[in-house]
Amino acid sequence: MMIIMGRISVMIGLWLVGFVIGFIGFILFTALAQALMNLLPFLASMDSYLLSATLSGFVGSIVTIIAVTVWSYSSKSY
C-alpha cells in the first residue's frame, strides 16, 4: 500500500507542477508575445494563432529539455 501512495503522490505532484507552469505561461503569454513583436518587428505581420503556436512549442521544448536533463542527472547509475 505504501508504494501505491508514493506513486500517487508523485503523479499528483507532477500534475500540480505542470498545472502551475501552464497557468503562469498562459498569464505571461500576452506580455511575452508583445515583447517579441516589439523586439522582432517581422512577427507583427504573422498570424496571431501561428505566433502563439510557435511560442507554445518553443516553451514546451525548453521545459522538456530541462525535465530530461534533471531526470538524467538524478538517475545516473555508474
Query: Quick one: pLDDT band at residue 53, thresholds 50, 70, 90?
Result: confident
Which pTM was predicted? 0.52
User: Could you tell me the residue range of the domain that residue 40 belongs to?
Assistant: 2-74
> Greater confidence, 31 or 4?
31
Q: Is the pLDDT of residue 34 over 70?
A: yes
How many C-alpha atoms does 57 have within 13 Å on its Cβ side? Answer: 6
Total domain count for the chain? 1
Kindly give, in sequence order, each residue whose CB lies less than 8 Å from that of residue 36, ignoring residues fewer than 6 positions away: 43, 51, 55
